[in-house]
Amino acid sequence: MLVLCDIRELFLLNLSNCIVASNSGYIDCDVSNHKLQSLNNGADYDFSKLSYYFCAGLLLINYEAWIANDIESKCLDFLRHYKAQFPDQDALNAVINSNIVELPPEYGLLIYQCIDSLHDENMRHVIDNLKIAHFNGPSKPWRTTYAITQDLKLQKYPYSDEWWNMAMQTHGFLDEFVEMYNIQSQAITVNKVVLDSIADRMRQMDSRLAKLESKLNKPHKYIATKFKMWLQQQFSKH
């Protein structure tokens, strides 16, 4: 994670009797298809019954409420009964349920999931006012600063430059960071050439498929056109 704000503002939150403060990492989080298989032949656990599903990457914990509700033991017990996809996160959501303070998406936005919706107005607002960036999945800046979008273009991950700026100011690791950054830059140049070539071929294929689809949807016109072409060829021979 990359903290872009004064982290102390989180500690000013009033958790009251809630156990944690967190958010989903999304603007809109859909867990309607998120289910866990039972390990003891019981019913699957369906997360769609929860009012909210949060990301365990950022948790502000009410320690007293955590201990009083025996959260650790309950989570371990949950994991004995279900095959979790995200063990800590799934267990915490099932056990804590809705007993949380929901943070706005500016705290811990999942960078990898937002890459194909950067032009969305709501997403743009969150990114422009981001307080904590969660570089989840492949979006880690020390691995790559670019993603491949659905239309086969290179798109820079938001705040990856800011991460590198901070990394370069870290004492004791400058040589290693410079080497990593140079390797990345070379790879990006090569990948862009390859992707541009693939994208061009994909556009050509899309154009051909569109023409074929049009012909298949209007077979009588296709047959008539072919017949006219045949007639023209026959007359041109004489």
* pLDDT, tens digit, 9 for 90 and up, residues 173-194: 899 999 988 888 877 776 666 6
pLDDT in tens, 34-79: 899 999 988 999 988 888 899 999 999 999 999 999 999 999 999 9
What pLDDT was estimated at residue 37?
93
Is residue 150's pLDDT more than 90?
A: no
**pTM for the whole thing?**
0.75
CA pair distance 148, 154, nearest whole angstrom: 5
pLDDT tens string 195-220: 677 666 766 777 777 777 666 666 66
Write down the domain spans for the chain.
Answer: 2-102, 193-236
Max mean pLDDT among 127-141, 151-165, 205-219 falls in 127-141
Give the span between the Cα atoms of 146 and 135, in whole angstroms. Answer: 12
* Integer angstrom CA distances of residue 60 from 18, 75, 91: 10, 17, 17
The closest of 154, 116, 113, 153 to 133, measured between CA atoms, is 113
Supply 156's token pair. Answer: 């820079």
State the CB neighbour count (10 A cutoff) for residue 129. 12
Helix axes 219-236, 174-217, angle to 10 degrees: 80
Q: What single-letter DSSP state applies at residue 108?
A: E
Local confidence band at 238 (pLDDT 50, 70, 90 cut-offs): very low
When the pLDDT of each residue in the chain is averaged and rounded to a whole number, the result is 85
